[in-house]
Amino acid sequence: MNIEKTEQICPVAGKCGGCQLQGVFYHAQLEKKRALVADCVHGVKVQPVLGMADPMHYRNKVHAAFGRDKKGRVISGVYAGGTHRIVPVEHCMIEDPRADEIIATIRDLVKDFKIKTYDEDTGYGLLRHVMVRTASVTGEIMVVLVLSSPILPAKNHFLKALRAAHPHITTVVLNVNDRHTSMVLGDRNIVLYGKGYIEDELCGNRYRISPNSFYQINSVQTKRLYETAIAYAGLTGNETVLDAYCGIGTIGMTAAAQAAQVIGVELNPSAVKDAIVNARRNQCKNITFYNEDAGDFMRLMAAAPPSERVKVDVVFMDPPRSGSKETFMDAVAALAPRRVVYVSCDPHTLGRDVEYMKKIGYQPTRCQPVDMFPYTDDIETVVLLERTGQNNETKRKSGIVQSGDSRYQKKLRDTRTAPGSRRTKTSQQRQGKRAH
């Protein structure tokens, strides 16, 4: 399709690679994304994309890599596409300006305090990255210093200088990443100032956000995304909802106000911890969280004896960019919910998974793209899949339902939690071996 173009307004657009649609009129961006979804998802009408009134400075999480240029000067910015070469960035048109200002200050402090930046080739140096998370409603700000060591020289003086320049910073965390990998964050967090987390409000609920927590980066559009997902679920107050890969509980708690009960499942233990706290703070008493792999958990639910089986009416699934595995979708089908609400961040894997869901008895009936990431190629999409009459036959063929298998029955009993959202026993035994 022909794309209407305008002038690029970002000075590093050609080097950064982050905004692939830089220089394209916003209405043309939305149509391009709708066409992409329609090309990938078949058998359902794709609605016009829900765009933003102001598609600028929407990112509430900003990550800057630190290094030095050829002259030895401290630089910070983003990696050029497909490389680990840092493109210096002073101001980004899609990032929260407060984050850019804080990163600029840290860049100056690194020079003043003679802190060595990390060199990926040699493995020497201290400061690897800086991450800034901002809360759109509460205004709280978290600064995460990603270091290769748990020791920050002249820590108190560094913090005093940073807070003097930006007194609105709510908390500062030192994250230790001593691994030779491309992962930004390590597993260990040391609170240097404040609570070690920030809080934000979304769809009437208040959420605790830790350094490693997943939280959508566009707060304005996340509200529209979740409202669409809840509307597609068709909740009347009588349903049991399963929120697969629930993260810190945002979708599940939004749905809880309109459902009888919600079951949240998440593999990341720190996210589950935040989800439990979030539920208690929001007095959300009809939601229970399990620290488990969602596919394994659903198979255990389906394998329970009929007298103990929990009937699930709606499943929310929000997989990573790689999409969902067939074994996971088989597990969904084994539960036989009437509706599945699929929230996707990649139209290609969404299209692939929708085709598989058709084979196991679920047809797409509604499709709504939401522009969470203006000026990029990325698009979030909500698809409603409704069960057809083929589901029970497919379920028998899949071999998922094994109600006579005593091993599955015992494991299900062992992994149950009581209302109040405690971690599962089996998850506690495996926490040290599993990563999100």
Residues serving a catalytic function are: 345
Exposed/middle/buried for 96, CB within 10 Å: 0-12, 13-18, 19+? buried
CA distances from 315 to 62, 116, 336 (A): 31, 48, 9
Taking the C-alpha atoms of residue 416 and residue 291, their distance in angstroms, rounded to an integer, is: 10
Taking the C-alpha atoms of residue 109 and residue 107, their distance in angstroms, rounded to an integer, is: 6
How many CA atoms, within 13 angstroms, populate the side-chain half-sphere of residue 11? 5
CA distances from 63 to 185, 228, 244 (A): 10, 29, 27
How many CA atoms, within 13 angstroms, populate the side-chain half-sphere of residue 143? 24
Q: Where are the alpha helices (DSSP H) in 191-264?
A: 219-233, 250-256
Helix (H, G, I), strand (E, B) or coil at 15: helix
Taking the C-alpha atoms of residue 22 and residue 403, their distance in angstroms, rounded to an integer, is: 54
